[in-house]
């Protein structure tokens, strides 16, 4: 149920062009679920929409618990990152230029393994509403919804296709040119949609995004 009072109810803050990447996509979905009137447009990039049923929720919960324990048991951040980068979800990044892979690696090294463990437990895909509920919510929105994914990102290409089939208001229009899993730069996405929003809606929009590279 949407909450009557929202953060912008008590201020003159402009309505949002809300952009969420990965874990940030889950946060964006929850925000628009609660505060639709704050948002003029929603952009999701490589974001899950929830488990399909109770069985998948249980499977995801068990997997995320095992990931949390692996992060907690890491002997160092280097050990945690070495395991983290071995996950299948990041396999296509092997095709990236060395400079970009090094940048991703350094970003992960700045993480805290215990915080990542907590995120796996408290904010993993198993904590989301079912996918059908999310699709229904998105379909009921009165604002534009766009879904961004890489052309070689088979997991989120399937999510986009499912949304296009079941939530007719969602437009999976923007495929990242590089087309490799999790190569979308939130900065470039923000810039692109800031420019797009100015053309379409004027200058009264702000953008919120969050980036995490922890597999979902």
Pair 55, 181: CB distance under 8 Å: no
What pLDDT shows up at residue 161?
A: 85
What pLDDT shows up at residue 182?
A: 33
What pLDDT shows up at residue 102?
A: 95
What pLDDT shows up at residue 201?
A: 47
Kindly state the greatest CA–CA separation across the chain: 51
Q: Along the chain (216 residues), what's the average pLDDT of each consecutive run of 10 residues?
A: 51 78 93 93 92 97 98 97 92 88 94 96 96 93 88 84 76 49 43 54 43 49
**CA-to-CA distance for 33 and 44, rounded, in angstroms?**
14
């Amino acid at each position: 149920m949407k909450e009557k009072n929202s953060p912008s109810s008590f201020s003159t803050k402009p309505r949002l062009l809300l952009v969420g990447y990965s874990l940030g996509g889950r946060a964006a979905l929850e925000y628009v679920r609660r505060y639709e009137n704050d948002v003029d447009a929603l952009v999701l990039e490589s974001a899950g929409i929830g488990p399909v049923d109770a069985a998948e929720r249980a499977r995801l919960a068990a997997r995320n618990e095992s990931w949390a324990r692996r992060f907690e048991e890491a002997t160092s951040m280097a050990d945690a990152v070495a395991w983290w980068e071995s996950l299948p979800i990041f396999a296509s990044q092997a095709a990236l230029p060395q400079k970009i892979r090094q940048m991703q690696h350094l970003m992960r090294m700045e993480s805290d393994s215990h915080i990542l463990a907590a995120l796996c437990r408290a904010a993993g895909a198993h904590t989301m509403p079912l996918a059908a509920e999310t699709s229904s919510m998105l379909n009921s929105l009165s604002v534009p919804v766009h879904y961004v994914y890489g052309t070689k990102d088979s997991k989120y290409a399937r999510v986009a296709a499912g949304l296009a089939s079941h939530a007719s208001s969602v437009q999976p229009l923007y495929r990242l040119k590089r087309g490799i899993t999790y190569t979308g730069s939130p900065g470039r996405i923000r810039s692109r949609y800031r420019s797009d929003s100015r053309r379409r809606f004027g200058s009264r929009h702000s953008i919120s995004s969050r980036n995490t590279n922890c597999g979902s």
